[in-house]
Amino acid sequence: MPTLETRCDDRLMTEADIPAVVAMERLACQLPVHAWTEDNYRSSIRAGYWMRVRQDRHSGRIVGVCVAMDGIDELHLLNIAVDVDFRGQGLARDLLALLYARCRARRAPCLWLEVRPSNERARALYLREGFADIGRRKGYYPAPEGREDAIVMRRLIDPIDMSPTSEVPHALD
Ligand SMILES: CC(C)(COP(=O)(O)OP(=O)(O)OC[C@H]1O[C@@H](n2cnc3c(N)ncnc32)[C@H](O)[C@@H]1OP(=O)(O)O)[C@@H](O)C(=O)NCCC(=O)NCCS
């Protein structure tokens, strides 16, 4: 049986992907209101953010999405989601690895993100991936009853990873 890696392609996200990505993410999130809207994706495309989807080669099904913003000396992960049917198979890890490669290619020594304290799955992923808690943003996220804080996390990109030979060309897309 082929592995996920050989069955899936990573590519840039386009406007045409938005409905499928939103549908996938709404099912993946604990609550549909946690998911990005079509407008969020449209404005991110307009803003020129780094946006990639992982797509099953045979069915065309989009099984993962990752959005990040370039900063000076840093990258900021804005969103990541994996199809519920493909959970726990390392897809999110793979998408994060593309981001680490982009950090190295852009010589950005750290990657930032925000996450809901209630999102245990994502928290576990980030902690296992070497992100550390840096602080909290009060009332950052909308929640069914009021607002929810965000935990701000940061992962330093190992200086040894910053050598020019470690660049991954397609991560620059
Ligand atoms: C969070 C999310 C992206 C993880 O995707 P995933 O592809 O299942 O993650 P991976 O398979 O790469 O898992 C890697 C790590 O995640 C954690 N993880 C995976 N499944 C888990 C589970 N059932 N319970 C707790 N942690 C789990 C583990 O730390 C795992 O490491 P391990 O394989 O060494 O045990 C996915 O669940 C998702 O799309 N959630 C909804 C959207 C979301 O919350 N995004 C984050 C916004 S900040």
Q: In this predicted structure, what is the pLDDT of residue 144? A: 80
Q: Give the type of residue at 94.
A: D
How far is 127 from 163, CA to CA, in rounded Å?
A: 25
How far is 55 from 171, CA to CA, in rounded Å?
A: 16
Residue with token string 């390392």:
90
* Helix, strand or coil, per DSSP, at residue 52: strand
CA distances from 24 to 21, 31, 61, 130 (A): 5, 13, 9, 27
Q: In this predicted structure, what is the pLDDT of residue 169? A: 47
Q: In this predicted structure, what is the pLDDT of residue 114? A: 97
**Nearest alpha carbon to residue 153 among 81, 92, 51, 76:** 76
CA of 166 relative to ligand 1 center, distance in Å: 26
126 is catalytic: yes
Q: In this predicted structure, what is the pLDDT of residue 105? A: 93
How far is 72 from 79, CA to CA, in rounded Å?
A: 19
Q: pLDDT tens track of the chain, all 173 residues? A: 455 556 889 999 999 999 999 999 999 999 988 999 999 999 999 999 999 999 999 999 999 999 999 999 999 999 999 999 999 999 999 999 999 999 999 999 999 999 999 999 999 999 999 999 999 999 999 888 889 999 999 999 976 555 555 444 455 56
* Helix, strand or coil, per DSSP, at residue 97: helix
Question: Which of 125, 140, 152, 155 maximizes ligand 1 atoms within 8 Å of its Cβ, making it the mutation to test the pocket?
Answer: 125
Q: Which residue out of 74, 114, 148, 167 is catalytically annotated?
A: 114
How far is 111 from 135, CA to CA, in rounded Å?
A: 14
129 is catalytic: no
Contact 5, 29 (CB under 8 A): no
> Is 82 near ligand 1, meaning CB less than 6 Å away?
yes
Query: 159 CB contacts (<8 Å, ≥6 apart)?
Result: 109
> Is 125 near ligand 1, meaning CB less than 6 Å away?
yes
Q: Give the type of residue at 103.
A: C
Query: In this structure, are strands 50-56 and 62-70 parallel, antiparallel, or unpaired?
Result: antiparallel
